[in-house]
Amino acid sequence: MKSKRILVTGGAGFLGSHLCERLVRGGHDVICLDNYFTGRKKNVEHLMDFHNFELMRHDITFPIFVEVDQVYNLACPASPVHYQHNAVKTIKTSVMGAINVLGLAKRVKARVLQASTSEIYGDPTQHPQQETYWGNVNPIGFRSCYDEGKRVAETLFFDYHRMNDVDIRIMRIFNTYGPRMHPDDGRVVSNFIVQALKNNDITVYGDGSQTRSFCYVDDLIEGMIRLMNKDGFNGPVNVGNPGEFTIKELAEKVIELVGSSSMVIYKPLPSDDPRQRRPDITLAKEKLDWQPEIKLEQGLRKTIKYFKDNLD
């Protein structure tokens, strides 16, 4: 593939850092943009010696002026703990961030990919979720700043595409895990692993019967790059692992793999927490020739090793 100049917003975050690494090692010139609200410099410090990697501190709610061929828009806190910390800032990041990257793409005629989310489906009444499903979202709840912010971003992407012929891609990301997750981000995989490594009680919200589908980060990044470089297909497209597990099953698997003495304890389910979440990836298979390769146990082992090596 011909070398490109690529902007990754949120590039020092969990997903962004893996994407930057993959693109840098692929020979592309990469600008990693982050304001470090949830992103961390240590996630990309191993890339600083590469001549084709550049780090820029910037908040995407303000316009950005660079010359690039492609933009991956990953800038937004993605875990409930972080996106509820400052709900107004979260929705501004999604909405103003989308306007700013779309304005950039329009000016320099770049292709732009929006990292959207399975959260746009809300607490779904359709299972598994297909891209044609419009969702079941509470517009005024605690999660709304993220859910509705991402929904508005998708609206903006398609409006810029229809009105200004901006070359867009939209990817709906389902639960993803792997090395470089923030240990305090409140996501279920990192929560369970950190608690198990410390032999603390593992906290399950609700009765543990709610389900999630977990995609390892390497599989996710492969799908993202395939979507960006697929001509003639805008999306939206689900990218995630259709393997479905209850939260209780995940907790028990993490305890087993860590060899922990942790006990599972149960607490009340948070407001608007989805009962089921599983992607229909038929479209990703058909359009991108993509499906996940890494099984949950294999991915959990790699993630546990990362946390074991990096926990203070």
DSSP class of 45: G
The answer to whether residues 243 and 213 touch, using CB atoms and an 8 Å cutoff, is yes
| Residue 177, C-beta contacts closer than 8 angstroms, at least 6 positions apart | 187, 189, 190, 214, 215, 216, 217, 299, 300, 303
Question: What's the rounded Cα separation, in Å, for the pair 55 and 29?
Answer: 11
The answer to whether residues 284 and 223 touch, using CB atoms and an 8 Å cutoff, is yes
Determine whether 146 is an active site residue. yes
Active-site pick, 72, 83, 146, 160: 146
The answer to whether residues 69 and 7 touch, using CB atoms and an 8 Å cutoff, is no
Would you call 242 exposed, middle or buried from its count of C-beta atoms within 10 A (0-12, 13-18, 19+)?
middle
Of 184, 171, 141, whose CA–CA distance to 40 is shortest?
A: 184
Identify the sign of the CA torsion 212, 218, 222, 227.
positive
Would you state the structure tokens that stand for residue 261, as one six-digit string?
């003495």
Question: What's the rounded Cα separation, in Å, for the pair 80 and 153?
Answer: 18
| 3-class secondary-structure state, position 286 | helix
Give the active site residues: 146
